[in-house]
Amino acid sequence: MKHKIIEIVVQPSGELHIDAVGFSGSDCERATAFLEEALGLIGQKIRKPEYNHRVVRNQVQNISV
C-alpha cells in the first residue's frame, strides 16, 4: 500500500500548488477537497495517470481533461 501524503508548495506570490501523492482514482480529490475549499480560487487542475487507475476486470476507462 502506497504511503499517502499531500504536498503543498506556497510561492512567494501567495499562489500555491497542491499535489496528492500516493493516491489512486478519485480518492485524491476527496483528500484535498478541504484544502481547495479553504484556501481560495482553483486555477488549473491536472489529473495524472494514476487518477484513472482502477482495478477493473474487462474495461479500461480514459477520462480526458
Query: Which chain residues interact with other proteins by CB under 8 A?
Result: 3-25, 27-29, 31-32, 34-36, 38-48, 50-51, 53
Do 32 and 23 contact (CB within 8 A), yes or no? no
Q: Between 44 and 62, name the residue whose CB sits nearer to other proteins.
A: 44
Which residue type sits at 51?
A: Y
- Phi-psi group of 40: left, alpha or beta (phi > 0 → left; psi -120 to 50 → alpha; rest → beta): left
Closest approach of Cβ 59 to other proteins, in Å? 19
Closest approach of Cβ 65 to other proteins, in Å? 9
Grid cell 506570490 in the structure block, residue:
13
Closest approach of Cβ 19 to other proteins, in Å? 5
Which residue type sits at 28?
A: C
